[in-house]
Amino acid sequence: MTTHIYRRVSTAGQAGEDKSSPEDQLRRCRGAAMINGTEEPIDWYDAGVSGSTPLAERPAGGSLLAALAPGDTVIAAKLDRLFRSASDALSTAEAFQARGIHLILLDCGAEPVTNGAAKLFFSILAAVAEFEKGRILERMTDGRHGKRRRGGYVGGGDPYGYASTGSGGDAVLIDSPEEQATIRLAAELRLSGGLSLRAIGRRLEEAGHRTRSGKPWEAMQVKRLIEGATP
């Protein structure tokens, strides 16, 4: 019977946080291993791996699963170090139990999560973790939308007519004079002459207004220019 420690951090920044640092995870897990009578557990560590990646597809996680045998114990500092979601946590715990593998998650206590009150607490904690993950995603989405409404830049390619300046939370979009002139000319041609989108594209090229790639204007590109110029 072997005791295995599993650790994971997803970013370099997280590696420096006290509660999620790899060193803190190792210290806590080793303490739990000693309590369970194991002084030299096997340590499995995934650095820079997202929690959304299934355990089996992580370098150390996949090796851990391949090494497990009946009677073994897996210890992790937190539920979210091992699992992607509440359903993933519960199904994996059940699979471990069926194979005779004990799972200890220190945020659920020092007992295997398949035992008595620990099992109930684990189920509740897994559900709460899933809820909190959803709320974090909602707050991130709301924050991006709010920043966009205030004229901030939220990443991705710069929309035609604008250029990003600044970095991180201070990034904003500013007008690109040349591209704004292209947008205005496209809108004027559409309103004044009843030209087709392709014809407007040709007029833009003749006037020296090129696409960013240097390729000829396509009808859908011209359409987006005109729609972007409409209040």
How far apart are the C-alpha atoms of 73 and 104, rounded to whole Å?
7
Range with the poorest average pLDDT among 100-104, 106-110, 178-182, 221-225: 106-110
Could you tell me the pLDDT band of residue 51, with boundaries at 50, 70 and 90?
confident
Q: Would you list the domain boundaries of the chain?
A: 3-138, 153-231
Percent of the chain predicted with pLDDT > 70: 70
pTM for the full predicted model: 0.53
Percent of the chain predicted with pLDDT > 90: 27
In the prediction, which pLDDT does 6 show? 96
Q: For the residues 168-180, what does the mean pLDDT come to?
A: 73
The better pLDDT of the pair 104, 173 is held by: 104
The better pLDDT of the pair 108, 118 is held by: 108
Q: For the residues 88-106, what does the mean pLDDT come to?
A: 86
Q: Is 97 exposed, middle or buried (0-12, 13-18, 19+ CB in 10 A)?
A: middle
Residue type, 68: L
- The gap from C-alpha 196 to its chain's centroid, in whole angstroms, comes to 43
Under CATH, domain 3-138 is a member of which superfamily?
Resolvase, N-terminal catalytic domain (3.40.50.1390)
